Amino acid sequence: MTLSLLVEASDGRARAGTMTTARGTIRTPVFMPVGTRGAVKTLDTMDLERLGPPIVLANTYHLMERPGADLIAEMGGLHRFMGWDGHLLTDSGGYQVFSLEPKISERGATFRSVYDGSYVELSPERAVAVQELLGSDIAMVLDVCTALPADRAVLRDAVDLTVRWAERSRQAHSGGDQAQFGIVQGGVEVDLRVESAERTVAIGFDGYAVGGLSVGESRSRMVPALAAATGVLPADRPRYFMGLGDPVGLVEAVANGIDMFDCVLPTRLARHGTALTGEGRLNLKNLRFARDDRPIDPGFAHPLSDRYSRAYLRHLLVTNEPTAGRIITLHNLAWLADLTARMGLAIREGRFEALRAEIWSAWAPGETPHPG
């Protein structure tokens, strides 16, 4: 696949540009909503079309298990199965697999299915084959994702095996219109991050992801490891931070040269009544919103959510009406899309640091940004 990234503007290490695939063009930085089983929770494809994300993430492991990649291919591929014409990125299933405490070998990962308890084997080659059947625009290689904190020896083994699996994944990939991204591991060990990035770049992928961060480590440990990785990754390839969705984390990642993100956080928070706003998180179940006639975020008007008052949404939440989760999900995803658009504009106008300070002030009051 011919995937190109044009970096149109930089402000420090932050960058904004356009990523072009056979399907179309994506402006970066970009946040990708997570549609685990082919749907973003509580939303349908028409909702996504109105929200307008250029790219959505789907989960290889869950789709491989139910309904099965062969069935989806028979139905015309994942785009047609979902009724979605935008871009799709599929992860390798590695993160979900490693949460199941699999048996790891050179061959791959063996684990019990969350659906029926049967034994499942996922090799690098099978992860490639499944994603080709799904027909996503961007496919991720299978990597070894470790929990943090972890011993250096564990991280070393994960880096080495991830690279060997990446080499096999690249060889197995048939190309065509599907791009393939390699994944950098190494925990919070700066030298391992650099080594992992160098070895992954040497294989030669269409883009590169940073995995195994934002898994509970402090931001002061995360940022140096991230900066070490992005410092090695080629400037003309997309850079993707896997599993990052909090506003401070997003702005810090962009400050260190990241272009793409995904996370279940905005949709998960929404289903529990928490909204993302310019004031920080708002738990709309709180009694103080019972007579609050303002929209979720008075500073952010969006037609899919700003017609509803905080009081109305609190009423829906305390009466367990599922509509509340849907409305807040629409708001949270629209709010994050607006944040990434604002970051891109700020980079182009040379005022990214001012926006960075604004996000820190609202979301981490009393703290100061990492020097980078």
CB neighbour class for 313 (10 Å; exposed up to 12, middle 13-18, buried from 19): buried
For residues 300 and 271, the answer to whether their CB atoms sit within 8 Å is no
Which entry of 91, 206, 246, 259 is annotated as an active-site residue? Answer: 91
Nearest to 56 by CA among 170, 147, 137: 137
Contacts of 4 (CB under 8 A, 6+ apart): 19, 20, 236
CA atoms of 87 and 64, how far apart (whole Å): 19
141/127 Cα distance (integer angstroms): 7
For residue 336, give the nearest of 222, 250, 258, 259 by alpha carbon: 250
143 as an active site residue: the answer is no
Q: Which amino acid is at 325?
A: G
Angle CA 175–207–84, to nearest 5: 70
Q: Which neighbouring-strand residues pair with 56?
A: 88
- Mind spelling out the 3-state secondary structure of 108-153? CEEEECCCCCCEEEECHHHHHHHHHHHCCCEEECCCCCCCCCCCHH
- Only one residue has tokens 């290689």, namely 141
Point out the catalytic residue in the list 11, 137, 246, 262: 262
Contact criterion met (CB below 8 Å) for 48 and 40: yes
Is 297 marked active-site? no
Catalytic residues: 91, 262
